[in-house]
Every structure is written in C-alpha cells, then in structure tokens.
Homo-oligomer: A and B are copies of this chain.
C-alpha cells in the first residue's frame, strides 16, 4: 500500500489493466456520480472495459447527466475486473455492503478522493484535500496524463465540481477550479444548458417539501437558532425521495443572525435524523452531536437518535442553547 501515489503510477495501472469497476459512496451526490462517469468514459475512450457501480444506483436528480444510464446497482454475481477504483469515498464501508461483496474477488485497488480523513485503503492512493471535489482531481489526472476527455467526461467533471462547491462559492474553490471551468468551457461545455439541468430542474415535490418545511420553521435563542422538521406523514404524502431535501437546510442557515440551523427528520424505523449546521466556530456542531451519539465536523454534524420527534427536537435544542455564546 502506498500512502501517496503519483498520477504517473496510477496512469501506469490504467494503461496496463484491461477492465475496471469504478465505485463511489452510498447516497451518491454530484461529485460521486460525476467522478464515476468522468473517469469511466475516459477509460472507455482508451478501449478499456468499464463498469460503474453504486450501492444506491443513480438518483433521479442526476439522471440528466450524459452517461448516467451506465450507473448500475451492485449485481448479485461477482464482478471480475483487473482493477477496482474507489472514487470520492472517505472510508471503504461507505461503498456499501453489496458493492464490496460484488468486487470482493478483485486484488488491485486504486483510491482517489479529496476527503482529508481518507485512511488510504487502496493499493494506490491519491488523496488530495486541497481539491474541492474529486472531479477536480480527475480533471488534473486526465489532463496531466494526456488521457482522452470525451464530452461525457467533460460535462461530468463540471457537474461534480459545481455541485461540490455550491456553484463555485465555497471556500475550497481555488483559482485552479475557475481555470478548470474555463478550460472545460473552451472544450465545448454548454454552460447555460448544463447548469439549467443541474439547478433549475426540481420535481414539484421538492417545492412542496420546501413549503412544508417552511411551515414548521421556528426561530429561538434570540434569533440565533433556526429549525424545521419533516415527519413521515409528509414524506409519504409527498412521496419524497432522499435527494429531495438535499441542500434545503441552506435556506435557514442563510438567515441573518442565525448561528445554528437544524433539520429534524423522522426515519422509517422511528428514529430521528438531525442535521446541524453552525456558522460560528464558537458553537461546535460536532461537540453537540456527540452528546447524542452523533458526530461530524465543527460546522456540519449530525445525529441519529431515538424519537419521538418532539422530544428529540427539545433535547437537542436545549443542548444547542447551552452552547450559544453570550450575546
């Protein structure tokens, strides 16, 4: 196992092997699916055999991506390939049990990711946390090695990086990120078209979910805590899918004066999922969540705890209030 492999070392494996399985994490987002498509189509253009496998398959909101029909859920029979490539996946278990089972017979693993916490579980590992998205690492790999960059790969890299940077807004966005977007545009990317499909293309039920959440919105702690909730009742009435709520917490995180935003959601098993965002390093979301068996980062953390939702809401809110700085 190598702690850090160069693009050249990875390139040699890509050159020599004939068949590949490209994987990404459960509940995949734009960077996960985008990375699979980007590298997958580059390898196919090199004449390789490629399978794109994800535990949860392709989410509806990414079905607009060219090449996304190639994303498959793990087959029951073993997938025999020369090399497995894990993309954008911080730990091996995050690939999912059935995915791990189907590629269990493969001996050579490449691990490419931008999560700092990635423990380098591959045989070759390229972990670059200076990159705001795995898609940007793959762009560097493809262009530096001179691999083919077909239209599917070009567009997938853009979607991967755009979605993981909140449309080039988050602090991880660098000059190189914008340079990359410039280059992809020069290579024929339809900027207006792809962004319309990525961001302006929600199912009606997502807008209904937004309305429902806003109608439960409450603010407390002198306007420094905003929270809303999603009950099973609403999930079933609106026939919601997991990806429908993605990013909605940003609406209340963005309120002036709010330090902590919380999203309480009833799960099918009766447990409550809590998503917590802090805008102020003095309130450590991870520390609060750990009190309830959860975890995460200082500014974004979560809990899965016992219900009912009203009790969970009260307990967690009290814990957040106790952490608020003197105003």
Contact = CB atoms under 8 A, between A and B. Distances in A.
Contact of A199 (B169, B171, B190, B207): B169
A175 B183 contact: yes
A201 B168 contact: no
A179 interface: yes
Given A179-B182, A182-B178, A207-B217, A200 B250 contact: yes
A211 B179 CA distance: 38
Given A171-B192, A178-B179, A191-B173, A254 B185 contact: no
A314 interface: no
A75 B166 CA distance: 41
A119 interface: no
A215 interface: yes
Interface string A202-222: 111001001100110101000
Contact of A186 (B170, B175, B223): B175
Contact of A255 (B167, B179, B202, B215): B202
Interface string A157-196: 0000000001111111111111101110110001111011
Contacts of A12: none
A133 to B, nearest CB: 14
Given A210-B214, A215-B211, A203 B169 contact: no
Contact of A169 (B177, B195, B211, B217): B195
A252 interface: yes
Interface in A256-312: 256-257, 279
A173 B192 contact: yes
A253 interface: yes
Nearest to A189: B175
A193 B171 contact: yes
A256 to B, nearest CB: 5
A204 B256 contact: yes
The listed residue with most B CB atoms (<10 A of its CB), out of A252, A254, A279, is: A254
Interface in A106-141: none
A173 B210 CA distance: 29
B195 A185 contact: no
5 contacts: A173-B185, A201-B254, A202-B254, A210-B210, A210-B214
Top 8 A-B pairs, shortest CB-CB distance: A171-B192, A169-B195, A178-B182, A211-B214, A200-B254, A178-B181, A167-B167, A175-B185
Given A173-B191, A211-B211, 19 more contacts: A166-B195, A168-B181, A169-B192, A174-B191, A175-B183, A175-B186, A199-B254, A200-B254, A201-B254, A203-B255, A203-B256, A204-B255, A207-B217, A207-B252, A207-B255, A211-B214, A211-B215, A214-B214, A215-B215
